[in-house]
A and B are shown apart, each in its own frame.
Chain A
Amino acid sequence: MLGIDDPQIWLGYLLAIGFALWCLLYGLLNWNRGEGGDGS
């Protein structure tokens, strides 16, 4: 994939980019959740 043969490496890249996108999505979906005080 993208010039890298070893699946252990491109899986690592997929997960790293996937987690970063997940953080973006999580932040967006919970943008206004937990406002004020203990906010749990």
Chain B
Amino acid sequence: MAVDTLVFAAITIVYLVVTMALGYLGYRHTRETEDYLVAGRRIHPAILALSYGATFISTSAIVGFGGVAGQLGMGLIWLTVFNIGVGIFIAFVVFGTKTRELGQRMKALTFPDLMGKVYRSSFMQYATAAIIVIGMPLYTAAILIGGARFIEETLRIDYNLALLGFALIVAIYVVLGGLIAVMYTDALQGSVMLVGMTLLIFLTYITLGGVVEAHSALNAMSNLVPAALKAAGHTGWTSMPALGSPIWFTLVTTMVLGVGIGVLAQPQLIVRFMTVKDRRSLNRAVFVGGPFILMMTGVAFTVGALTNVYFYTNRNMTALEVAGGNVDKIIPAYINSVMPDIFIVIFMLALLAAAMSTLSSLFHTMGTALGYDIWVYTSEGRPSLGASQRGIVLMILVSVLLAYVMPGGIIARATAMFMGLCASAFLPAFAYGLYAKNPSTLPARVSLITGSLVWFLYTVLVHKAESEILGISKALFGTVSILPMPWPVVDPLIVALPASILALLIGIQVGKEGRSGRIPQ
């Protein structure tokens, strides 16, 4: 890193002190289980919007997906379209209002609790909690590793110390202060991210001579696309990949649709809708949330693509060549090459904030799924703050251990995998439970099981990006993917979500004798 490590360390310490102070504020405001699990249902709309956005956008969304834009170009802007249109507007207006209303009426305290109460089914609560407890540590470990690697490089400290220190600092305020602490600190972290990304887009266009000049220069670089990428469908950094090519399928099905739709069924985001007291708060949060996401992913993807102009003008190389073929290094290489020292510090802090905000929410969600939904209800104990805290501590330990043993290849895939699993397993049943007048349990059960199973089988046996690393398909059938092209590059969500919807519809038709769902109004 170009900037003085001591300067960054000093600013980081100030930031951490403020973070811990907000965590302490959360601790002081937490008196009962409802405070700990849904922030007492009295969170300010601006805090909700920033917290939702900061949780939604992890470091990998900025550095990882920004780097992918450096490799594949501006087509990723369609993910921003989905991030705002689906991830904010539909999420808040269609799903959020009903989630808040039912959550408040049924006194639901977690996402699995809501599913259990909507369907009056302990199976739905346990199954939802079990998928979170099994699937979420993979995603959490990926965020932990990303954060620790970043701290190791910027502060030049030992990786193991960075990993444990990072987990411990976040753990302290999550365990003690619950969701109030998580959301207060998220709001701070979201604000830091907003400052960092705003500076990034302005400085980029200034450096490249203006908006039209920068885009035109990138437009003129289409003849520089490497042969291998060209053969896979890359047509240039300001155009979409060739329709139906492997890159097109990856961009459209995994990134745009997979991540864009997957966000609707993320338990750590859904629980936030239950933290506000009325619909008005959700409307106001939309006001902040839409522009916030535009400034996060919209900026990351645009700057990611434009790094090619900077590197070609100054070094006669594409961004991917400068990064040695590693897309994750494109954004850091660009920041370090072009930005003034003070900006590097702000941007690094924004990345640390992005990792912390996502990590804290994941710790809280999976810990409460274990400590509240599974532990308390299976042992018939009384819901208590202590049980949730023990659940969180246990899940943090599992995630840290996983961070040490997980294979590198799977870590890179963990975000898309978790989003795909959540959408396939939960989305149809969640939507049906929210909007059906009298939802029955059978269709929801069938949908949840079908979605999870199809997603799992497709991931293990067909989708090359995962099946190659897992090696199960190779061991069983002697091939990485059991289906021909284009299926190995089509995201599991594209198959598993329709299967889950179909199972729900069939379940509704054949399961009219299923138990009546919602509590009478």
Query: Could you list which residues of chain A lie within 8 angstroms of chain B, going by C-beta atoms?
Result: 2-6, 8-9, 12-13, 15-17, 19-24, 26-28, 30-40
Q: How far is the CA of A23 from the CA of B215 in the complex (A)?
A: 27
Q: Evaluate whether A23 and B290 lie within 8 angstroms (CB atoms) in the complex, with A31-B284, A35-B278 already known.
A: yes
Q: How far is the CB of B280 from chain A (nearest CB, A)?
A: 5
* B286 touching A27, Cβ below 8 Å: yes
Q: How far is the CB of B274 from chain A (nearest CB, A)?
A: 13
Q: How far is the CA of A19 from the CA of B288 in the complex (A)?
A: 12
Nearest residue (CB) in A for B297 is A16
* A20 touching B291, Cβ below 8 Å: yes
**What are 24 of the A-B contact pairs (CB < 8 Å)?**
A3-B213, A6-B238, A6-B240, A9-B238, A15-B85, A16-B81, A19-B85, A19-B88, A20-B291, A20-B294, A23-B84, A23-B286, A23-B287, A27-B287, A28-B287, A30-B283, A33-B279, A34-B97, A35-B280, A36-B280, A39-B279, A39-B280, A40-B97, A40-B279
- Give the number of residues in B that approach A within 8 Å (Cβ atoms): 45
Please name 11 further chain A to chain B contacts, defined as beta carbons within 8 Å, in addition to the given A12-B78, A35-B278, A38-B101, sorted by A numbering. A8-B239, A12-B77, A19-B290, A20-B290, A20-B298, A24-B291, A26-B286, A27-B285, A27-B290, A34-B278, A35-B279
Q: Evaluate whether A27 and B298 lie within 8 angstroms (CB atoms) in the complex, with A2-B212, A34-B278 already known.
A: no
Residues of B within 8 A of A12 (CB): 74-75, 77-78, 80-81
Nearest residue (CB) in B for A29 is B283
Residues of B within 8 A of A6 (CB): 236, 238-240
* B283 touching A36, Cβ below 8 Å: no
Q: How far is the CA of A3 from the CA of B215 in the complex (A)?
A: 5
Q: Which applies to chain B's interface (DSSP): helix, strand, loop or mixed? A: helix
Q: How far is the CA of A2 from the CA of B88 in the complex (A)?
A: 27
Residues of B within 8 A of A23 (CB): 84, 88-89, 286-287, 289-291
**Can you list, as one digit per residue, whether each of B82-108 has a CB less than 8 Å from chain A (1) or not (0)?**
001100110001000100010011000
* B219 touching A19, Cβ below 8 Å: no
Q: How far is the CA of A36 from the CA of B88 in the complex (A)?
A: 22
Q: How far is the CB of B325 from chain A (nearest CB, A)?
A: 25
Residues of A within 8 A of B215 (CB): 2-4
Residues of B within 8 A of A17 (CB): 294, 298
Residues of B within 8 A of A35 (CB): 278-280
* A20 touching B84, Cβ below 8 Å: yes
Most chain B CB within a 10 A radius of its CB, from A8, A20, A21:
A20
Q: How far is the CA of A24 from the CA of B289 in the complex (A)?
A: 9
Q: How far is the CA of A38 from the CA of B274 in the complex (A)?
A: 12
Q: How many A-B residue pairs have CB under 8 A?
A: 127
Residues of A within 8 A of B290 (CB): 19-24, 27
Q: How far is the CB of A40 from chain B (nearest CB, A)?
A: 6
* B219 touching A3, Cβ below 8 Å: yes
Q: How far is the CB of B21 from chain A (nearest CB, A)?
A: 29
Q: How far is the CA of A23 from the CA of B294 in the complex (A)?
A: 11
* B278 touching A39, Cβ below 8 Å: yes
Q: How far is the CA of A6 from the CA of B288 in the complex (A)?
A: 30
Query: Taking the complex as formed, is B214 at the interface, i.e. its CB lies under 8 A from any CB of chain A?
Result: yes
* B298 touching A16, Cβ below 8 Å: yes
Q: How far is the CB of B507 from chain A (nearest CB, A)?
A: 27
Residues of B within 8 A of A30 (CB): 280, 283, 286
Q: How far is the CB of A19 from chain B (nearest CB, A)?
A: 4
Nearest residue (CB) in A for B213 is A3
Residues of B within 8 A of A19 (CB): 81, 84-85, 88-89, 290, 294
Nearest residue (CB) in A for B210 is A3
Residues of A within 8 A of B403 (CB): none
**Can you list, as one digit per residue, whether each of B478-504 has a CB less than 8 Å from chain A (1) or not (0)?**
000000000000000000000000000
Q: Which of A2, A9, A32, A39 contacts B239 (CB 8 A)?
A: A9
* B240 touching A26, Cβ below 8 Å: no
